[in-house]
Amino acid sequence: MSIDASNGLLRLADRVTLEGGMNARQLRTTTLVSALRPVVMNPPFATLRAEASLDDGIPVIMTLVFAYERLAQVSFRFRYPAEVDERQVHEQHALWLARVLGDARVFEWGTVGCEYDPRNDEANVVITWRGVSDLYDGAMPPPPSMAEG
């Protein structure tokens, strides 16, 4: 399973695991480091992009967002030819998430969503971890334990 619902780990091929709050030093110890390319470096945020594969073999294009030198968010999309309709990509992401996580999208550790932005015609699966950045924490729904009470 590529996303572990119990703790928010994202599992990639070659035994690479991404988790909320990991720092650049930890990321440099993985095989993913050779594929990473900086996109935006605007302290305290940094955005990197890479091509990789999920642990179930699905090739993806990933964007990693670091806040205060800690991993706060990862978005990825399945690799399809450029002419594929992004709404269909979005549907495939939604089906994959349902298979991997069921109906749950809000967790104690963060959130997982399937997004489609018609402005730039791009679909992504987005994982956002809690406790890394106030900016991201403020935009997330409350964790299940707070929502129940």
Higher-confidence residue of 146 and 21: namely 21
Quickly list H helices, 6-51. 24-28
pLDDT in tens, 76-105: 999 988 889 999 999 999 999 999 999 889
Q: Is the pLDDT of residue 51 over 90?
A: yes
What average pLDDT does this structure show over 26-40? 93
Q: What is the pTM of this model?
A: 0.92
Give the whole-number percent of the chain exceeding pLDDT 90: 78
Q: Is the pLDDT of residue 149 over 60?
A: no
Distance separating alpha carbons of residues 51 and 36, to the nearest angstrom: 8
C-alpha closest to that of 28 among 69, 79, 63: 69
**How confident is the model at residue 27, as a pLDDT?**
92
**How confident is the model at residue 111, as a pLDDT?**
96
**φ and ψ of 87, to 5 deg:** -65, -35
**How confident is the model at residue 145, as a pLDDT?**
87
C-alpha closest to that of 78 among 67, 88, 65: 88
